Structures are given as structure tokens and as C-alpha cells.
Amino acid sequence: AQSVAQPEDQVNVAEGNPLTVKCTYSVSGNPYLFWYVQYPNRGLQFLLKYITGDNLVKGSYGFEAEFNKSQTSFHLKKPSALVSDSALYFCAVSFYTGANNLFFGTGTRLTVIP
Amino acid sequence: EAGVAQSPRYKIIEKRQSVAFWCNPISGHATLYWYQQILGQGPKLLIQFQNNGVVDDSQLPKDRFSAERLKGVDSTLKIQPAKLEDSAVYLCASSSWDFRAIEQFFGPGTRLTVL
């Protein structure tokens, strides 16, 4: 069965410091991996994806993520956090097998402290 | 490019009443999804359409939930009768079928409160 784990419910980081939001997955086959961000009272916004190719993917707002197949991880990173990055972040996995169902993690709330 | 539109944004009903949500996807997106997001959890897929056909509805509680996408564009999700545990945000998303652009784009959601 497919599953996605975000081991940290809450991550706090000082403004200007690097940030990491962790994600691990357990799936069979070759997954597609995604990060989404959710601001209060708004829908999810797509940040980046890994489909194939280079393990380091760059996305919106300066975020990047590294696909690590041996560790089954897809951690989200940013070199320098902004207060405006404070939001709820979701990791998700899907398979391009007809049904493109996204399986989401439980989310990590990121707070950037000024 | 206009995003995914949903209405209403908020709805409060009493248990056993019925409710309907509407979604208009991004123009040209053949695939449409409805998700349920309960507070404190990640979204969970309810149903996926490809044009006007159902691809996956395995997680849809079919005794009370129904959805349609008659003309392959906009879609409605209905709950009848509603239960207290249906209180959640209902998210609509759409995507291209091209695997190179497979990311889903989400609407703002409808927050349903069942009293």
C-alpha cells in the first residue's frame, strides 16, 4: 500500500536560515512526487514535482527538493527562509497508471520567525 | 489563465440535509478531481473524472455522495443526507493528461459544516 510520511507536524526556523521539511514514502513501483503549500483559507498551491531525471528539482518561490531513491525521501528545502513562507506544506505521491490519485501526507506547519 | 473555480466557499447545514458543490476546472484540463480534507489531515481523493467518465471512485461513500461531470467540463458533488463526520473542506482540482504536466491545480475549496 502506498503511504507518505511527514514526520514533523511543526517546523520552526528563523528568517534567513535554511529550512528543510521532511517527507518519506513507501510505495511499490516508480512514484511521482510532489510538494504543495496551503495558506489559510486557500486551496493547495503546487510547488514542485519529481517525475524522472535529475534528482534535484527546483520549484516556485525558491524551493527545491531532492529525490533520494535509496532513502525513499523527498525533502523540501530552501536556502533562506522568509516570513511569508509560513504555511502548511504537504508532500504527495502518485502513479501515472491511468488513475492519477494523489496520496498526501498529513502536512507540516512551517513557521518562520522574524 | 483562470484557476479552478469553486462555489460556494462556505456552507453550514444540519445533519440529514442535502448539499451540492460546484467546480469549474482550468480550461482544457481533461481530468477533474474531488478531494475531502478533514481538519488536521491531508486531502483524500473522493472521485476522479477523465472528461465525463469516472476513472476512480473507490473512496466515494456512494450511499450518500454522488458526483457528475456531464459535459466533461464543470462538475457537481452532492451529499445526501449529510452526517456530522462530513464536516470538511471539499477541494476540486484539475490537471492535464500529459504526464509531463501532471501536477494538479486546486481550487479554493468549500468549507462544509454539518451541525
Between positions 29 and 58 of B, the ones with CB within 8 A of A are 31, 33, 35, 40-45, 48, 55-56
Give the 3-state secondary structure of residue B1.
coil
- Range with lowest mean pLDDT among A26-35, A54-63, A95-104, B41-50: A95-104
| Sheet with B65-68, edge to edge strand ranges | B5-7, B19-24, B75-79, B65-68
For residue B42, give the nearest of A99, A100, A107 by CB distance: A107
What average pLDDT does this structure show over B86-107? 88
Provide, as residue numbers in chain A, all residues whose Cβ is less than 8 Å from the Cβ of B4.
43
A24, A5 Cβ separation under 8 angstroms: yes
Mean pLDDT for chain A overall: 91
Give me the pLDDT at residue A27, please. Answer: 79
Between chain A and chain B, the number of residue pairs with CB atoms below 8 A apart is 62
Check residue A101 and report its DSSP letter.
P
